[in-house]
Amino acid sequence: MTVARDIMTAGARCVGENETLVDAARLMASLDVGALPICGEDERLKGMLTDRDIVVKCIAEGGDPASTTAGSLAQGKPVTIGADDDIREALETMKRHQVRRLPVIDGHDLVGIISQADIALALAPAETGETVAEISE
């Protein structure tokens, strides 16, 4: 059985909940990623932040990314998958919640991220196509 840990991108970096969106954008640029997990001072996952969130939820509304914190854009309980959960469960979770990136946790610790690309590399093309279509609805 293939589990989340087998296909995830390990070593995910967090943006702190009290860091600004400018800090987050700089970290995204340096890592060449479009999304980052938001972690609290307790090192627990608080949510996910995307480059689109910065533009749509801050800049487009006249907000100041230099004073808006990443944590202020964290909404609801983060959708996650356990490190030892089957990848088919990860696939179903991504479809059900229509998320393109899924933080992988081991206990309360963030250990990686599964993206659509990770799924595409691990599953048959038909399953990958169906997943992408359902996530994008």
Instruction: Dig out the tokens for 119 from the structure.
Output: 């799924």
32-74 per-position pLDDT tens digit: 999 999 999 887 899 999 999 999 999 999 999 999 999 999 8
Model confidence at 77: pLDDT above 70: yes
117-131 per-position pLDDT tens digit: 888 888 776 666 665
Beta-bridged to residue 105, according to DSSP, are 82, 110
Question: What's 4-135's CATH class?
Answer: alpha beta
Distance CA 103, CA 122 (A): 17
SS3 12: coil
Domain ranges of the chain: 4-135
Q: Which pTM does this prediction carry?
A: 0.84
